[in-house]
A and B are shown apart, each in its own frame.
Chain A
Amino acid sequence: MSLGKSVGWLSVCWTDRRFLPLALCATVVFLLDVVLPLGVASGVLHVAVVLLALRIASGRFVTATAVLCSGLTMLDMVFSPGPGGTEWWKVIVNRGLSILVIWVTAILGQQRNRAAEAERRHLTDLAHLSRVKTAECLAGALAHELNQPLTAIALQAEIVWRQLENQQLEHPDHTNSDPLQPALREIVDQSHRASGILRSLRCLVRRTESTRQAASVSEVIEESLRLIEPTAREAHVELRWRIGPQLPLVCVDRIQIEQVLLNLLQNAIDSLARQQPNDVDSSSQQESPIVEVSAKFDQPGWVRVTVCDNGPGITAENVGTVFEPFATTKTHGLGLGLAIGRSILEAHSGHLCFDRTATKTTFHMDLPTDNFTVA
Chain B
Amino acid sequence: MSNPTILLVDDDAAVIRALESVGEWMKLPVRAFSSAESFLASDYLIAEGCLIIDIRLPGLSGLDLQNELRDRSCALPVIIISGHADVPLAVEAMTRGALTVLEKPFSLDQLMKHIRQAIELDRTRRESSLSRKLAADRLARLTDREREVVDLIAQGLTNKEIAAELKITVRAIEDRRSRLMRRLEVGSVAELIQTIERAAAQ
Contacts and interface: CB of A to CB of B under 8 A. Distances in A.
Interface stretch (A107-115, A139-147, A228-236): A139-147
A149 B84 contact: no
A23 interface: no
B22 A143 contact: no
Given A145-B83, A153-B105, A192-B105, 15 more contacts: A140-B84, A147-B84, A147-B105, A150-B105, A151-B15, A152-B17, A154-B107, A154-B108, A155-B19, A156-B17, A159-B22, A159-B25, A159-B108, A162-B108, A320-B58
Interface of B: 12, 14-15, 17-19, 21-22, 25, 56, 58-59, 83-84, 104-108, 111
A151 B105 contact: yes
Given A147-B104, A195-B104, A152 B18 contact: yes
Contact of A144 (B22, B84, B107): B84
A144 B54 CA distance: 11
A18 to B, nearest CB: 51
B132 to A, nearest CB: 38
A151 B106 contact: yes
10 contacts: A144-B84, A147-B105, A148-B12, A148-B104, A152-B12, A152-B14, A152-B18, A154-B108, A159-B25, A159-B108
Contacts of A144: 56, 83-84
A292 interface: no
Contacts of A153: 105
A151 B84 contact: no
A148 B22 contact: no
A156 B22 CA distance: 8
A150 B84 CA distance: 13
A159 B21 contact: yes
Interface string A153-167: 111101100110000
Nearest to B83: A144
Best-buried of A148, A151, A191 by chain B (most CB within 10 Å): A151
A321 B83 CA distance: 18
A202 interface: yes
A202 B84 CA distance: 9
B19 to A, nearest CB: 7
Interface of A: 140, 143-145, 147-156, 158-159, 162-163, 188, 191-192, 195, 199, 202, 320
Best-buried of B58, B59, B83, B111 by chain A (most CB within 10 Å): B83
Contact of A152 (B15, B56, B83): B15
Contacts of A145: 83
Contacts of A152: 12, 14-15, 17-18
Contacts of A192: 105, 107
Best-buried of B14, B104, B105, B111 by chain A (most CB within 10 Å): B105
Contacts of B56: 144
Contacts of A140: 84
Contacts of B84: 140, 143-144, 147, 199, 202
Q: Which 4 A-B pairs have the closest CB atoms?
A: A144-B83, A152-B14, A151-B105, A155-B18
B46 to A, nearest CB: 28
Nearest to B105: A151
Contacts of A202: 84
A195 B81 CA distance: 15
Contact of B105 (A155, A159, A163, A320): A155
Given A143-B83, A148-B83, A191 B105 contact: yes
Nearest to B111: A155
B184 to A, nearest CB: 49
Contacts of A191: 105
Contacts of B111: 155
B83 A155 contact: no
Nearest to A144: B83
A145 B83 CA distance: 8
B83 A158 contact: no
A147 B83 CA distance: 6
Nearest to A154: B105
A27 B18 CA distance: 84
A206 to B, nearest CB: 8
A154 B58 CA distance: 24
Contact of B22 (A155, A163, A188): A155
Nearest to A195: B105
Nearest to A188: B107
B127 to A, nearest CB: 31
A156 B104 contact: no
Nearest to A166: B25
Contacts of A199: 84
Contact of A162 (B25, B105, B106): B25
A371 to B, nearest CB: 14
